[in-house]
A = this chain, B = another copy of it.
Amino acid sequence: MRSALRDEPVSVLDRILAILDTVRESHGTTTITQLALATGIPKSTVSRLVGDLIRQRYLTRAEDGVVIGLRLFELGARASTPRRLSIAALPVLAELFNATGEHLNVAVQEGRDMLSVISVRGRLRPVPSRAGVRVPSATTALGKAVLAFTSDESILASVMAGLDPQRRHMLERELATVRTESVAVDRCETFPGVVGVASPVLSPERLPVAAISVAGPVTNMDANRMMPLVRHAALALTHRLALQVA
C-alpha cells in the first residue's frame, strides 16, 4: 500500500477492492472496459485481475458482463456484526412484525451512511430498503436515531457538512429531541410517501451499535402508534445484545 495520493490505486489490494466496489456499485453488470474507465486502472491489468477473481469465484461472468460471485456471498454471510445482530434481533423483529405488519429494518452506521443489516418485508411496495443497501444518515429515521447518540464527532460533522445551514439547524434540534425521546422520525424525507420511525440500540456504554425502524405508507400508517412499539423493540434488542456477550 504505497501511495494512496490522489485516488489512483497502486497496490494490488487497493486495485482489487476498487474493482470489487465498482462491480457492486454498478447495479447489474459491468464490462472490463467500464471497470478500467471507472477505476483508472489500465485495461490489460483489469482484465488480468478480473480473470483471477473469476477463477476464484469471487466474480462471475454473466451474459453481459461481470457480476458478484458466490464466494463473496459466502463470505458476506459470515460477517460478524450482521450475524450477531440477526441472532439477537430475530425474536424481537418477529414480535414487532406481529404488532405492526410493516416494513422493518435493523441498520448500523457505516461511514456516513447507514447500512441495512436485516430487512423484513411489510406491506410497503416497492420495498425501499433491503439488507445490504446503504441509506443516507441525515434524512432516514435510522440515521437520525444513531447520529443522536454517536460519539464520533468527525462523522457527525461530515454528515452536517453536506447540508445547507437551515437544514443543519433543523437536524440539530431534531437530534436533541431524539436524545430525550429515543425515537426518530422520517416524514417522506428519504422516500416519497414513506414514513419511518426508528429507535437506537445502544451498547452498555451507551454508544449506538444499531437502530431498528418501522416504515410504512404515509397515507395510513400512524407514526404515533409506532413510536412506543419501536422504542420497546430497540430496548429489547439492546437487552438481548448485552446478554449475548456474556
Binding site for B on A (CB under 8 A): 1, 11-14, 16-17, 20-21, 24, 29, 48-49, 52-53, 56-58, 60, 62, 67-82, 108, 110, 115, 117, 130-134
Instruction: Report which of B57, B74, B80, B81 forms a contact with A76, defined as CB distance below 8 A.
Output: B74
**Is A132 in contact with B74, judged by CB distance below 8 angstroms?**
yes
User: How many copies of this kind of chain does the complex include?
Assistant: 2
**Is A110 in contact with B70, judged by CB distance below 8 angstroms?**
yes
How near does chain B come to A234, taking the closest CB pair, in angstroms? 20
Q: For A53, what are the chain B residues with a Cβ–Cβ distance below 8 Å?
A: 13
Q: For A76, what are the chain B residues with a Cβ–Cβ distance below 8 Å?
A: 68, 72-77, 79, 132
Instruction: Report which of B13, B24, B62 forms a contact with A74, defined as CB distance below 8 A.
Output: B24
Q: For A73, what are the chain B residues with a Cβ–Cβ distance below 8 Å?
A: 76, 79, 81-82, 115, 117, 132
**Is A68 in contact with B62, judged by CB distance below 8 angstroms?**
no
A58–B75 Cα gap in the complex (Å)? 10
19 new A-B contacts at CB < 8 Å, known A13-B16, A13-B49, A29-B80: A1-B48, A12-B13, A12-B16, A14-B52, A21-B71, A24-B74, A24-B75, A60-B81, A67-B79, A68-B75, A68-B78, A69-B79, A72-B76, A73-B81, A74-B76, A74-B110, A75-B75, A76-B79, A78-B132
